[in-house]
């Protein structure tokens, strides 16, 4: 299993949680499968809807949050998200991840970026790969939930989308690994099957039965139909 852990505070962390949460319905990427995205937020889950600005000033909290999920340098990647490039919570988490030997990535919207200049005990930067998206002044000065937030979401989307494509969770630009968990996604599963298997004439009821027989896997249902197998 490969695990990407996105850590941040405020808007940055909410975007990390948002990107991580959409991987399950879009790619059926859960813990039991081969790849997982995890969003960690300063202040915990409650901070998603209740502002907890002060917690981002604690580097120790960032470290403690990563300790609590038992990082494994063999499989874990830590992505620190901080528009300013200097949020203590994020820096604390990245420092700990780097000490363990995890791959670390920093996303910021400013130059220079403090988290890219801080050195680990071996005199190497705590951020191994740095991404700087310079968006310029915000419409409301200092409100990084605006342009900086928008570009951060685009970067996170590119990382997770690229990784999922690399893992074979798509067919071309089709999300054939979709998790069919509601009526909308069920209809999408039908459209995906009909798009790939163009000569197929099964009814919606027959498609539902096939998907159910395939354990809810649209991808497997496509393979079965394409090869004219029976299940």
> pLDDT, tens digit, for every residue of 65-80?
999 999 999 999 999 9
Q: What is the DSSP string of the chain?
A: -EEEEEEESTHHHHHHHHHHHTHHHHH---TTSSEEEEEEETT-GGGGTS--GGGGG-HHHHHHHHHHTT--TTTEEEEEE-TTS--HHHHHHHHHHHHHT-EEEEEESSSS-HHHHPBPTTSSBS-SEEEE------SSTT-TTTHHHHHHHHHHHHHHHHHHHHTT--BTTB-TT-B--SHHHHHHHHHHHHHHSTT----HHHHHHHHHHTTTBHHHHHHHHHTT---
- Is the pLDDT assigned to residue 203 strictly greater than 50? yes
pLDDT per position as a tens digit, 151-165? 999 999 999 999 889
Q: What are the pLDDT digits (tens) for 15-53?
A: 999 998 888 888 887 644 445 788 899 998 888 888 777
pLDDT category at 175 given cuts 50, 70, 90 is: very high
């Amino acid at each position: 299993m490969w695990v990407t852990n996105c850590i941040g505070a405020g808007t940055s962390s909410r975007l990390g949680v948002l990107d991580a949460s959409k991987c399950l319905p879009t790619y059926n990427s859960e813990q039991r499968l081969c790849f997982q995205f995890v969003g960690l937020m300063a202040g915990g889950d409650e901070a998603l809807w209740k502002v907890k600005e002060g917690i981002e000033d604690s580097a120790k909290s960032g470290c403690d949050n990563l300790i609590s999920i038992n990082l494994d340098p063999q499989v874990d990647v830590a992505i620190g998200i901080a528009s300013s490039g200097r949020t203590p919570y994020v820096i604390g988490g990245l420092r700990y991840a780097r000490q363990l030997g995890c791959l670390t990535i920093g996303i910021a919207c400013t130059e220079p970026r403090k988290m890219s200049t801080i050195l680990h005990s071996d005199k190497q930067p705590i951020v191994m790969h740095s991404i700087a998206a310079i968006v310029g002044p915000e419409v409301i000065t200092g409100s990084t939930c605006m342009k900086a937030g928008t570009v951060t979401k685009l970067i996170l989307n590119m990382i997770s989308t690229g990784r999922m494509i690399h893992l074979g969770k798509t067919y071309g630009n089709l999300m054939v690994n979709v998790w069919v968990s509601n009526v909308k996604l069920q209809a999408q599963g039908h459209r995906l099957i009909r798009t790939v298997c163009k000569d197929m004439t099964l009814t919606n009821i027959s498609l539902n039965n096939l998907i159910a027989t395939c354990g809810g896997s649209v991808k497997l249902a496509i393979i079965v139909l394409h090869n004219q197998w029976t299940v």
